[in-house]
């Protein structure tokens, strides 16, 4: 039930986020809510189940994104999940400042991975208006926009976990 609820929340966030921000002309600086959800999954889920949800969320984001190869965001989500899962054994995350910092760092890392994957797999990358300059130019602003939303998404998923599981520990206090 938790898995389906998280995927549904991810779909709803993408469905609300995409049209509103693209119509406002802020497509480059959209907060990466799916990445924040993936990081939360890495900090709170078992490996197999969390990786499956992260891949499903990445494929949902691939469906909402235009102009990127299918599977790019699924791969970025899988990498982000694995890194956050490994860090969860060494990192104790408490409070809104920690959620913001983790969201900021992972957003910067995801932008670097997106740049590398685009250079390797997208044949027309670097021609016309797309290219490394576009990703590098929007990397810091997107990370700064994503960081405050990390607190909101962590809180939302923590409340969702409280409804769907019987755990008493909380990631977000």
Tens of pLDDT, residues 92-105: 777 889 889 999 99
Cβ–Cβ < 8 Å for 12, 58:
no
pLDDT of residue 135: 75
pLDDT above 90: residue 163: no
**Rounded CA separation 14/53 (Å):** 15
User: What is the per-residue pLDDT across 41-81, written as a single tens digit (0 to 9) for each?
Assistant: 999 999 999 999 999 999 999 888 777 788 899 999 999 99
pLDDT of residue 60: 92
| Residue 171: inside a domain | no
Summary count for the chain: helices (H), strands (E): 6, 0
Range of the domain at 62: 2-164
| Residue 170: inside a domain | no
* CATH assignment at residue 121: 1.10.1760
Looking at the structure of the chain, the number of domains it has is: 1
pLDDT above 70: residue 173: no
Cβ–Cβ < 8 Å for 89, 77:
no
59 φψ region: left (φ > 0), alpha (ψ -120 to 50), beta (else): alpha
pLDDT of residue 152: 93
User: What percentage of the chain has pLDDT greater than the value 70?
Assistant: 84
CB environment 85-104: b (16+ within 10 A), e (fewer): bebbeeeebeeeebbbebbb
Cβ–Cβ < 8 Å for 142, 107:
yes
- Nearest of 91, 67, 63 to residue 77 by alpha carbon: 63
Tell me the pLDDT of the chain averaged across its residues: 85
pLDDT of residue 123: 75
| Residue 115: inside a domain | yes
pLDDT of residue 106: 95
| Residue 172: inside a domain | no
| Residue 30: inside a domain | yes
- Nearest of 9, 29, 2, 43 to residue 143 by alpha carbon: 29
pLDDT above 90: residue 128: no
| Residue 80: inside a domain | yes
| Residue 169: inside a domain | no
Average pLDDT of the segment spanning 32-40:
94
| Residue 22: inside a domain | yes
């Amino acid at each position: 039930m938790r898995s389906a609820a998280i995927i549904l929340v991810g779909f709803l966030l993408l469905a609300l986020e995409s049209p509103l921000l693209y119509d406002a002309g802020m497509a480059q600086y959209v907060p990466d809510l799916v990445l924040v959800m993936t990081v939360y999954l890495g900090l709170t889920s078992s490996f197999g189940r969390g990786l499956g949800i992260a891949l499903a969320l990445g494929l949902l984001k691939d469906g909402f994104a235009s102009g990127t190869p299918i599977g790019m965001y699924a791969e970025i989500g899988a990498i982000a999940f694995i890194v956050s899962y490994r860090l969860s054994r060494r990192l104790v995350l408490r409070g809104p400042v920690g959620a913001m910092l983790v969201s900021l760092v992972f957003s910067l890392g995801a932008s670097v991975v997106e740049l590398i994957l685009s250079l390797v797999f997208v044949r027309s990358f670097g021609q016309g208006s797309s290219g490394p300059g576009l990703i590098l130019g929007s990397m810091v602003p997107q990370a700064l926009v994503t960081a405050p939303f990390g607190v909101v998404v962590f809180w939302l998923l923590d409340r969702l976990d409280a409804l769907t599981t019987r755990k008493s520990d909380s990631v977000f206090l």
